[in-house]
């Protein structure tokens, strides 16, 4: 296959950015990922900090990196045209996190008025608005209804499907008004896919991303030895959503599968002993392809051709990297992953990642990457990293 393009990851969210570049690009290579997208979070100017990111990737990364820019301030809105000219096409807007929920990570949510102005700016320069759809006000209501509880299922029920649906509908309607391309990230609610279908029929250019976790885990955490290790936002939905998402993936209604990975350590993940203070996400890149091979291709939910589009080609097309990335054609970057579709292994934590756990530990998966190439260079061979820091490059950004 062409090397995987994981277009939604977070470096430096919980651990130092430069350390993450070393360890987590290695973890990416283990999973067959040759291009990662990092969401740039800056309180001040993103434009002024861009040279730092380009240089850090060149010095420390093992695979290539592209960027989204998170828009949270007036300065960020003003910088959208200049950042677009530099090559960034994805601009991320958080409709949740308006309180202090993620301030230690540097994420601050925005309101509908800000999003509408952002969509207009993005539309004017041929960008893509990347939206985290979870209605903050409804989140507060449902969290209050779980007061006194401290378990995985209660956390999931504090962020029900309606929170995603309301903001997804609003974002689609505002994108229609602005004439903007819209990309909805980490969708776990199958009802959002139904909403998107309606707006696509109206001519709105809207894309849907889901993650392996939402195709494998429901709100009960069934099948996980320690469900709390899989806590993330948005949370998991009832099992019916998971099955409907698989159907949507097979029908082509979902455009991409990305991990939303953010490395953290076991001690920090649930160190406070409260699900309400747990750090969201984990490093899922090492198992993403094997998960989709096992539960998608091997169960006839998707074909290999569909899987290639979902995990590589479509993201490259949407964000302007195709055909350099996401393809195996003359003139492309020779990013390749070879997978052994008969290899069956028991999941263990990835030794190359600083994330010292995985919720999937002990599961059996069939269909693992055995060789990864970045721009013609072998970076992973049978699980061993064969290149040091400095091979990676910032791609598509000047």
Domain ranges of the chain: 4-385
The upper half-sphere exposure of residue 164, i.e. CA atoms within 13 Å in the direction of its Cβ, equals 28
Phi, psi of 4 (to 5 degrees): -70, 145
- Rounded Cα distance between 320 and 383, Å, is 30
pLDDT at residue 272, as a whole number: 80
Whole-angstrom Cα distance, residue 164 to residue 166? 6
How far is 199 from 176, CA to CA, in rounded Å? 8
Q: Is the pLDDT of residue 376 over 90?
A: yes
pLDDT mean across residues, the chain: 97
128-140 mean pLDDT: 96
In this model, does residue 100 exceed pLDDT 90?
Answer: no
Q: What is the pLDDT of residue 105?
A: 80
CA distance from start to end of the chain: 28
The tens digit of pLDDT for each residue in 37-87 reads 999 999 999 999 999 999 999 999 999 999 999 999 999 999 999 999 999
Output the pLDDT for position 98: 83
Name the token pair of 164. 């995603």
For the domain made up of 4-385, the CATH class stated in words is alpha beta
Q: Is the pLDDT of residue 228 over 90?
A: yes
Q: Which of 193-207, 264-278, 298-312 has the lowest mean pLDDT?
A: 264-278
pLDDT above 90: residue 214: yes
pLDDT computed for residue 363 by the predictor: 96
**Which pLDDT tens digit goes with each residue over 337-369?**
999 999 999 999 999 999 999 999 999 999 999
- What is the mean pLDDT of the segment spanning 2-20? 97
Per-residue CA distances from 359 to 90, 157, 223, 269, 275 (Å): 30, 19, 10, 11, 15
Query: 17-30 and 285-292 are packed helices; what angle lies between their axes, rounded to 10 degrees?
Result: 30
pLDDT in tens, 166-193: 999 999 999 999 999 999 999 999 999 9
The stretch 254-258 carries a mean pLDDT of 98
What is the band of 99 on the pLDDT scale with cuts at 50, 70, 90? confident
pLDDT of residue 271: 79
CB-side exposure of 233: number of CA atoms within 13 Å? Answer: 22
pLDDT > 70 fraction of the chain, expressed in percent and rounded: 100
Q: What is the mean pLDDT of residues 252-257?
A: 98
Q: Is residue 101 scored above 90 in pLDDT? A: no
pLDDT of residue 224: 96
At 198-207, the pLDDT tens digits run 999 999 999 9
**pLDDT-derived band of residue 276, with 50, 70 and 90 as boundaries?**
very high
Distance between CA 141 and CA 155 in Å, rounded?
A: 13
Instruction: Report in angstroms the alpha-carbon separations of 216 from 8, 129, 181, 237, 312.
Output: 18, 27, 28, 11, 20
The Cα 47–Cα 242 span in angstroms is 39
Distance CA 284, CA 314 (A): 20
pLDDT tens, 311-335?
999 999 999 999 999 999 999 999 9
């Amino acid at each position: 296959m062409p090397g995987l393009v994981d277009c939604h990851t977070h470096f430096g969210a919980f651990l130092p950015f430069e350390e993450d570049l070393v360890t987590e690009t290695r973890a990416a290579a283990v999973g067959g990922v040759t291009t990662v997208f990092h969401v740039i979070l800056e309180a001040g100017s993103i434009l002024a900090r861009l040279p730092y990111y380009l240089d850090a990737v060149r010095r420390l990364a093992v695979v290539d990196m592209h960027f989204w820019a998170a828009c949270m301030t007036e300065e960020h809105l003003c910088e959208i045209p200049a950042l677009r000219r530099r090559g960034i096409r994805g601009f991320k807007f958080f409709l949740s996190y308006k309180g202090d929920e993620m301030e230690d990570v540097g994420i601050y949510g925005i309101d509908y008025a800000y999003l509408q102005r952002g969509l207009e700016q993005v539309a004017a320069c041929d960008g893509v608005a990347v939206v985290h759809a979870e209605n903050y006000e409804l989140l507060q209501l449902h969290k209050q209804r779980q007061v006194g509880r401290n378990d995985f299922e209660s956390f999931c029920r504090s962020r029900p499907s309606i929170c995603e649906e309301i903001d997804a509908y609003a974002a689609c309607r505002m994108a229609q008004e602005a004439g903007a391309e819209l990309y909805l990230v980490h969708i776990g609610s199958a009802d959002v896919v139904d909403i998107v279908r309606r707006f696509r029929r109206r001519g709105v250019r809207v894309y849907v991303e889901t993650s392996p976790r939402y195709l494998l885990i429901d709100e009960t955490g069934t099948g996980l030895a320690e469900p709390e290790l899989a806590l993330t936002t948005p949370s998991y939905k009832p099992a019916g959503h998971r099955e409907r998402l698989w159907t949507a993936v097979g029908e082509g209604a979902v455009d991409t599968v990305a991990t939303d990975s953010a490395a953290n350590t076991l001690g920090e993940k649930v160190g406070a002993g409260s699900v309400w203070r747990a750090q969201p996400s984990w490093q899922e890149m090492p198992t993403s392809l094997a998960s989709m091979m096992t539960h998608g291709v091997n169960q006839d939910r998707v074909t290999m051709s569909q899987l290639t589009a979902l995990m590589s080609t479509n993201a490259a097309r949407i964000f302007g990297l195709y055909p350099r990335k996401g393809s195996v054609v003359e003139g492309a970057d020779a990013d390749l992953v070879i997978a052994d579709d008969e290899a069956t292994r028991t999941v263990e934590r990835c030794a190359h990642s600083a994330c010292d756990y995985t919720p999937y530990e002990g599961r059996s998966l069939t269909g693992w990457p055995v060789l990864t190439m970045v721009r013609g260079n072998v970076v992973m061979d049978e699980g061993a990293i064969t290149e040091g820091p400095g091979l990676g490059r910032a791609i598509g950004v000047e």
